A and B are shown apart, each in its own frame.
Chain A
């Protein structure tokens, strides 16, 4: 049917710190299950409680919450999972729909090779076990945007299982510390997407577009609470979560709601709830029909999906018709955790810095280009890129690709700083000038604004001498070991040099003169 998607999920006390690129939300009606033409995965069910909520008012047993995420991610491919129609955003309604996508009788699903490769890559990147044999099933429910009356998915035996993901949680003061956490991936499965419904309440009708291919990433949360040591509680599914922030709020709310309900002697129903972000609460979406029964059955039109590796690859097989897991593993790019580790080892940066470098699109490349062209120490480069450069970008809400300062320009600037041609404060001034996009190089700006540090030792000594003469009281304070006085003196000299002298040098000269 629609755009092929991967659905995967993680269950644990925390949720993956993933970036969500917008992602539309379309109201689903009755069905409890979520559907998407994506790779779908579920995280493992925690056997032990991992997160302990606060102690209850009544001082009873502690509560433990278990959270599972169902993540629907659209596969980047040209055509759909089971048909050769195009995957594209914002196309005219029903223009990217083949006869199969419209569920016309007699049409059959034909599996897209690229989607299988994508699923295997995702499974490998998430440390999953890839099932050499996986199966397709039908999940039945009735809704206008599902013309076949069922969705093809992988319920019994999905393509990948038992993976994990390491991510970072910002903690500590100023949220600057990054604590690595691990979440388990229960499974990853290929599945179809349903269509898009536009509800026209005015005319009491629903408009159906079977193109799909919208909302590249979607999350539903499953939440339950229980007492540690006891069996897991009844779970609810929360939908309509459009951002990480709402995801967090919804989960926190639902955990507390369930605890309150149970403490007041109520019970939790296995239902679907919708998160209303304005009210900050979840509300039941369950209709009177009761629990959904999807009547899972094997997809009769698709044989089992068999994957091979280097050892099991049949000789003389058509390469187009076989998928080699080992070959796909070799095409995997370097994974973020490996890159971060390398950065920490190679450049001595803090783990949180490596997270920041990787979390901003294009920033790592920028950083590496500066490193290539400059003599300055990596730590200096890290500091300038993550503090100054990134700071300017964020202030003006720019992407790295829109930056007025090129890696070469920053490298040149850092060289000037490194060779003590300019002072640190002068460098900041130059950076600000560079940001104005006037096409000047750092060298040009430095000479135009006369920001070079005074190199003439003699002239500097003269200046120090004259400043000392002009401020005998301050000199007296310094001699009397007043700790702040020396800084005042340094400041006066700096002013006299119009900030063109290296404060370190000034201090040396003054101390020598004062015989300290």
Chain B
């Protein structure tokens, strides 16, 4: 989720500043292989769709890589932006539920108060089986 937010956040400036690229690739891995894209698409169910999108991803990674320039020796990583907040503890009382009818209305298909889903996970078609980059 947060990665998507970052992704979306980066999209806008990249769109406006076409000339942005990272000077050098510290890891020497500027290009992202088709296999990695396929893996990412399967993991996150994101459709990269076009060569442009992949390029944008490469640029985003290069941009994020600039964090490595910061010296973080001896600095404790931040686990959460909420680290100074108190985690609220709820009393163990039953205060919700009992709304099956309402929830089931969200489902395209329902069988006797069960949500209906396809059997198991449906495999994504392999990269070579897909149409090569449909026009976005």
- Interface residues, chain A, with chain B CB atoms under 8 Å away: 29-30, 77-79, 83-86, 92-99, 101-102, 104, 110-116, 135, 140, 142-145, 156, 197-201, 204-210, 287-289, 293, 295, 297-306, 320-321, 323
Q: Of residues 44 to 67 in B, which have CB atoms within 8 Å of A's CB atoms?
A: 44-45
Q: Which residues of chain A have C-beta atoms less than 8 A from B43's C-beta?
A: 140, 293, 295
Q: Which residues of chain A have C-beta atoms less than 8 A from B106's C-beta?
A: 102, 104
- Interface residues, chain B, with chain A CB atoms under 8 Å away: 1-3, 39, 42-45, 79-100, 103-104, 106, 109, 111-121, 123
16 A-B pairs within 8 Å (CB atoms) are namely: A29-B121, A30-B120, A78-B94, A79-B90, A79-B95, A85-B94, A85-B96, A86-B94, A95-B113, A96-B98, A112-B89, A144-B117, A205-B119, A297-B3, A300-B1, A320-B89
Contact B115 A207 (CB under 8 A): yes
Interchain nearest-CB distance for B124 vs A (Å) = 9
Contact B89 A111 (CB under 8 A): yes
Contact A111/B87 with A97-B99, A288-B123 known, Cβ cut-off 8 Å: yes
Q: Which residues of chain B have C-beta atoms less than 8 A from A209's C-beta?
A: 114-115
Q: Which residues of chain A have C-beta atoms less than 8 A from B123's C-beta?
A: 287-289
A-B residue pairs, 8 tightest by C-beta: A85-B97, A144-B117, A114-B92, A207-B114, A84-B95, A303-B82, A113-B89, A98-B96
Q: Which of A30, A207, A295 contacts B116 (CB 8 A)?
A: A207
Contact B2 A297 (CB under 8 A): yes
Interchain nearest-CB distance for A120 vs B (Å) = 12
Q: Which residues of chain B have C-beta atoms less than 8 A from A112's C-beta?
A: 89-90, 92
Q: Which residues of chain A have C-beta atoms less than 8 A from B118's C-beta?
A: 144, 204-206
Q: How many angstroms from the CA of A204 to the CA of B116 in the assembled complex?
A: 10
Q: How many angstroms from the CA of A114 to the CA of B90 in the assembled complex?
A: 8
Of chain B, the residue at the smallest CB distance from A85 is B97
Contact B119 A208 (CB under 8 A): no
Q: How many angstroms from the CA of A97 to the CA of B111 in the assembled complex?
A: 17
Q: Which residues of chain A have C-beta atoms less than 8 A from B90's C-beta?
A: 79, 84, 110-113
Interchain nearest-CB distance for A313 vs B (Å) = 14
Q: Which residues of chain A have C-beta atoms less than 8 A from B111's C-beta?
A: 205, 207
Q: Which residues of chain A have C-beta atoms less than 8 A from B92's C-beta?
A: 77-79, 112-115
Contact A142 B114 (CB under 8 A): no
Contact A205/B117 with A85-B94, A288-B123 known, Cβ cut-off 8 Å: yes
Q: Which of B3, B80, B93, B95 contacts A304 (CB 8 A)?
A: B80
Contact A94 B114 (CB under 8 A): yes
Interchain nearest-CB distance for B54 vs A (Å) = 19
Contact A320/B99 with A30-B120, A94-B113, A303-B85 known, Cβ cut-off 8 Å: no
Q: Which of B45, B89, B93 contacts A142 (CB 8 A)?
A: B45
Of chain A, the residue at the smallest CB distance from B81 is A300
Contact A93 B112 (CB under 8 A): yes
Contact A94/B121 with A77-B92, A85-B97, A303-B83 known, Cβ cut-off 8 Å: no
Contact A111 B117 (CB under 8 A): no
Interchain nearest-CB distance for A63 vs B (Å) = 35
Interchain nearest-CB distance for A160 vs B (Å) = 17
Contact B89 A208 (CB under 8 A): no
Q: Which residues of chain A have C-beta atoms less than 8 A from B39's C-beta?
A: 293
Q: Which residues of chain A have C-beta atoms less than 8 A from B82's C-beta?
A: 300-304
Q: How many angstroms from the CA of A400 to the CA of B27 in the assembled complex?
A: 69
Contact B80 A198 (CB under 8 A): no
Contact A113 B91 (CB under 8 A): yes
Interchain nearest-CB distance for A75 vs B (Å) = 10
Q: Which residues of chain B have C-beta atoms less than 8 A from A83's C-beta?
A: 96
Q: Which residues of chain B have C-beta atoms less than 8 A from A101's C-beta?
A: 97
Contact B87 A303 (CB under 8 A): yes
